[in-house]
Amino acid sequence: MINLTEEDAGLAVLEKLTSNVKQIQDAVLKEILTCDANTEYLRSFLHGSSDKELFKKNVPVGTYEDFKPYIERVVNGESSEIISGKPITGFTLTSGTSGGKQKLIPLNNKYLENARLLFDLRYLVLSKHVDGHNEGKGLHLIFLKPASKTLSGLPASYATTHFMKSDYYVKNLPSYWDTSSTSPSEIKFCPDNKQSLYCHLLCGLVLRDEVTRVCANFASILVQGITFLENFWKEMCSNIRSGQLSDWITDSCKDSVSMILGGPNPQLSDIIEDICNQKSWKGIIPQLWPKIKFIECIVTGQMAQHVPLLEFYVNDLPLVSPNYASSEAMFGVNLNPLCKPQDVSYTFLPNMSYFEFIPIGEVNDTIVDLVNVNLGRYYELVVTNYAGLHRYRVGDILQVTGFYNSAPQFKFIRRQNVVLSVYLEATTEEDLLKGVTRASQVLKSSYIMLRDFTCYPHVSDIPGHYVLYWELKGNKDDGINELDTNMLVECCSVVEKSLGALYKRYRSKEGSIGALEIRVVQQGAFDVLMEYFISQGASLAQYKTPRCIKSSEAIQVLENRVFARFSSEKLP
C-alpha cells in the first residue's frame, strides 16, 4: 500500500499517479495477468501467457453473466484459483438497483487497499479546498449490515461494510480523515434501518453545534433523511426535551444514543422546534446545523435528479460529490470538489485496475486503453480487476471532459442499458432523465417539486405507452393543496418532446406508441418502494431508485398509492 503519512506526501502521490498513466496501467495489467495466468478462466484464452497483445486479441469482453458460473463455483466451495490467482476472501454485493439484479463480486485485500487509497485521496483533495474540513464532527448517514456467509464460508456483504470493518479502515487512519462522527458506531451497525436513521438524526440534532458536514454515500439517502426528519422532528424534540429516548428504539444502540441525549434539554428542544416549525424548509440544513461547511454525497448520474431538492434544503452550501466507485473496482476521484453538481468529473486513478473503453456511436468501435481516450467522446467502461474479472463491462457510459496531468477525467453519463421500450424505440436513462428534468422546471412556478420518479413500459394495452410515477412535494409548506391539471398535462408533453426521434416518429405518425402518462403517487410512496427493494435484499447505503421498474410487485407498491393521473394531449 502507498503510505500516505502526510498531506504533502499524499498529494505528491496523486501527482505521480496521474503523470504516469501509461506505465502504471501496463504494470497493473502485467501484474494481474501474471497472477491469474494459470486460472481456469484465463488459461482457456491465454494458455499461461501474460502478454498484453495476446490478452487484447484473445480474451473476450464479457458481462456478469459470463463470469457468473465461475463465481458460483467459488461461492459453492471450489478453490478461488479457478478465476483468481489471488485468494478470494469474500464477496461484495452490488446494490441490485443500479443495473438490475443483485450480483456477487469476488473480493480480496487489493480491493480494500484501493478503497483506502481512494479515501485517502478524497480527503486530501477536500483538505486542499475546504479550510478545516475535518474540524468538528460529521453527521454521517451510514448503514452497515452484517455479512452473510456463502456455502464455502466466505463473507458476503456490501462494499462499504467490508471496508469499514477491515483493518484498512480501522487501523492507522491519518489525521486528515474525518472519522469524527455524531453517531456512535453502534448506530451504523444497527440492523433496523428506521431505528438507525432516527438515531443518526437525533444524535446529529443533539450535537448540532459541532456538526461541520453532513455526509452519505448517495444524494438519495440525504433526501430520504430530510424527509424522515420532516416526519419525526416533533418526536425527536420531545426526546431532547425529556432526555428520554422513544420506547420503539429497542436496538442495542439505544444505550449509546441515550448517553448522547444526556439529560432533559428544553432549551435545545425549543430552538429546533422553532426552526422546524417554519412553513418552508428552504435552507433548513444550515439552520439546523449552523457551522456546516459542506454536504458530501454522490450527486451525479442517477443522483442528479435529487440535486434541485437538495439545493432547496441546503441553500448555497457546496454539494461535494467525492468519487466514482463500484463493487467491482474503484475508478476515480473528483479533484474539484467545490464545483457545481453538473460540472463534476472524476479523474481516473491508473493503479486501481486496468481500464479499457468501448467507444459509443462511432463506426470504428475498437476498444481503447485509458491513455487513448479522446476529449469529448463517450465510452462504455470495461475493467480488469485484481479479483478475477477480466474485460468486464461495468455497464456505465462516461464522457471524457479533460485531463489532469495525463489522467483522463470523465463525466458520468448514465448506465448502459436501455430503460424503456414499448415498441421499436430505445429510450435510455439519459433521455428519460433529461425529459423529466425539463418537465420538473414546469412545476417550479407552482411551488411544487419532484421528490422522486420511476417509470414502467405499459404494454398490456395496444399501443403501449410510458407510465411515469411521480412523487411531488410542496416547497412552501408540507402539503400540496391541489394539482393543476394543465400543468401536469404540460409536463407529460415536455417529457415526450425530449425523447428520441424514434419515439416521436412512432408516437406521432404511426400511432404505435400511446400518450405518455404521469401517475402522481402519495407522499412517502417512494420510501415504501425502497423498503420493498430492501426487503428483497437491496442495501439502504447503496440504494438507488430504479429508473424503470419491471417487477409486478414493485409496480403494485406504487400503483396502490396513485391518486391522480394525467396524459399528454398533443403529439410531440
Asked whether the beta carbons of 282 and 276 are under 8 A apart, the reply is no
Q: Which region among 45-53, 91-99, 435-443, 458-466 touches ligand AMP (by CB under 6 A)?
A: 91-99
Interface residue with ligand AMP among 4, 394, 520, 529 (CB under 6 A) is 394
Q: Does 325 bind ligand AMP (CB under 6 A)?
A: yes
Instruction: Return the CA Rg of the chain.
Output: 24
Say which DSSP state 62 is in: B
Bond before 463 cis per omega within 30 degrees = yes
Q: Do the strands 155-158 and 148-149 form a parallel or antiparallel pair, or are they unpaired? A: antiparallel
Q: At what angle do helices 7-19 and 21-36 cross, to 10 degrees?
A: 80
Nearer Cβ to ligand AMP (17/159): 159
Q: State the number of binding residues for ligand AMP (CB under 6 A).
A: 17
Percentage helix, strand, coil for the chain under 3-state DSSP, each rounded to 5: 40, 20, 35
User: Going residue by residue from 124 to 163, which x/- string records binding to ligand AMP, judged by CB under 6 A?
Assistant: -----------------------------------x----
Block residue for cell numbers 481500464 = 355
Interface residue with ligand AMP among 109, 224, 326, 347 (CB under 6 A) is 326
**Which is nearest to 517 in space by CA: 481, 552, 558?**
558
Nearer Cβ to ligand AMP (383/525): 383
Q: Which region among 65-73, 234-242, 296-304, 335-343 touches ligand AMP (by CB under 6 A)?
A: 296-304
Q: Which region among 107-115, 142-150, 318-326, 496-504 touches ligand AMP (by CB under 6 A)?
A: 318-326
Distance CA 59, CA 355 (A): 14
Interface residue with ligand AMP among 265, 542, 545, 568 (CB under 6 A) is 542
Grid coordinates in use for 72? 458460483
Q: Rounded to the nearest 5°, which phi and psi values hold at 211?
A: -75, 125
Minimum gap (Å) between residue 47 Cβ and ligand AMP? 32
Q: Which region among 29-37, 94-102, 106-114, 505-513 touches ligand AMP (by CB under 6 A)?
A: 94-102
* Residues 458, 461, 463, 469, Cα dihedral to 10°: -30
Q: Which residues pair with 400 in a beta bridge?
A: 410
Q: Does 300 bind ligand AMP (CB under 6 A)?
A: yes
Minimum gap (Å) between residue 325 Cβ and ligand AMP? 6
Q: Does 95 bind ligand AMP (CB under 6 A)?
A: yes
Q: Does 298 bind ligand AMP (CB under 6 A)?
A: yes
Minimum gap (Å) between residue 323 Cβ and ligand AMP? 6
Strand stretches in 141-244, DSSP E: 148-149, 155-158, 211-218
Interface residue with ligand AMP among 412, 423, 453, 566 (CB under 6 A) is 412
| 321 CB-side CA count, 13 A | 27
Strand stretches in 43-125, DSSP E: 90-93, 104-107
Grid coordinates in use for 52? 498484453
**Which is nearest to 284 in space by CA: 205, 213, 226, 210?**
226
Q: How far apart are the first and last CA of the chain?
A: 56
Interface residue with ligand AMP among 281, 289, 324, 348 (CB under 6 A) is 324
Nearer Cβ to ligand AMP (55/158): 158
Interface residue with ligand AMP among 39, 84, 98, 195 (CB under 6 A) is 98
Q: Does 327 bind ligand AMP (CB under 6 A)?
A: yes
Q: Does 413 bind ligand AMP (CB under 6 A)?
A: no
Nearer Cβ to ligand AMP (245/541): 541
Positions touching ligand AMP (CB under 6 A) are 94-95, 98, 159, 298, 300-301, 321, 324-327, 394, 396, 412, 415, 542
